[in-house]
Amino acid sequence: MEELDYEIQDAILERPHVFRIDGETFYLYPLTLGKIHLMQRISESLGLERKNLEKNAMLEMLRVVEKNKPACCDLLAYLTARNDYYSVFDYDAFDRRKTVFMEQEDSEIAMLVMKALSSDRTERFITHLGIDTEQKDMQKVAKVKSASDKNSYTFGGVSVFGSLLDVAMERYKMTKRQVVWEIDYTSLRLLLADRVNSLYVTDEERKKIHISRDRKKVDGDNRQAIMEAIRSHDWE
Tell me the DSSP string of 6-67.
HHHHHHHHTPPEEEEETTEEEEEPPPBHHHHHHHHHHHHTTT--HHHHHH-HHHHHHHHHHH
Q: What is the pLDDT of residue 210?
A: 74
Q: What is the pLDDT of residue 235?
A: 46
The verdict on residue 66 lying in a domain is yes
Cα separation, 46 vs 210, whole angstroms: 48
The verdict on residue 155 lying in a domain is no
Q: What is the pLDDT of residue 151?
A: 76
Q: What is the pLDDT of residue 216?
A: 60
The verdict on residue 163 lying in a domain is no
Domain that holds residue 18: 3-122
The verdict on residue 21 lying in a domain is yes
Give the angle subtended at the CA of 92 by the CAs of 91 and 94, to the nearest 5°.
Answer: 55
Question: Which residues of the chain fall below pLDDT 70?
Answer: 1, 212-236
Q: What is the pLDDT of residue 182?
A: 97
The verdict on residue 144 lying in a domain is no
The verdict on residue 23 lying in a domain is yes
CA–CA distance from 169 to each of 31, 56, 185, 218 (Å)? 18, 41, 14, 36
**Nearest CA among 228, 186, 217, 198 for reference residue 15:** 186
The verdict on residue 68 lying in a domain is yes
Q: What is the pLDDT of residue 150?
A: 75
pTM given for the model: 0.82
The verdict on residue 43 lying in a domain is yes
Number of Cβ within 10 Å of residue 219's Cβ equals 10
Q: What is the pLDDT of residue 221?
A: 59
Q: What total number of domains does the chain contain?
A: 1
Q: What is the pLDDT of residue 230?
A: 58
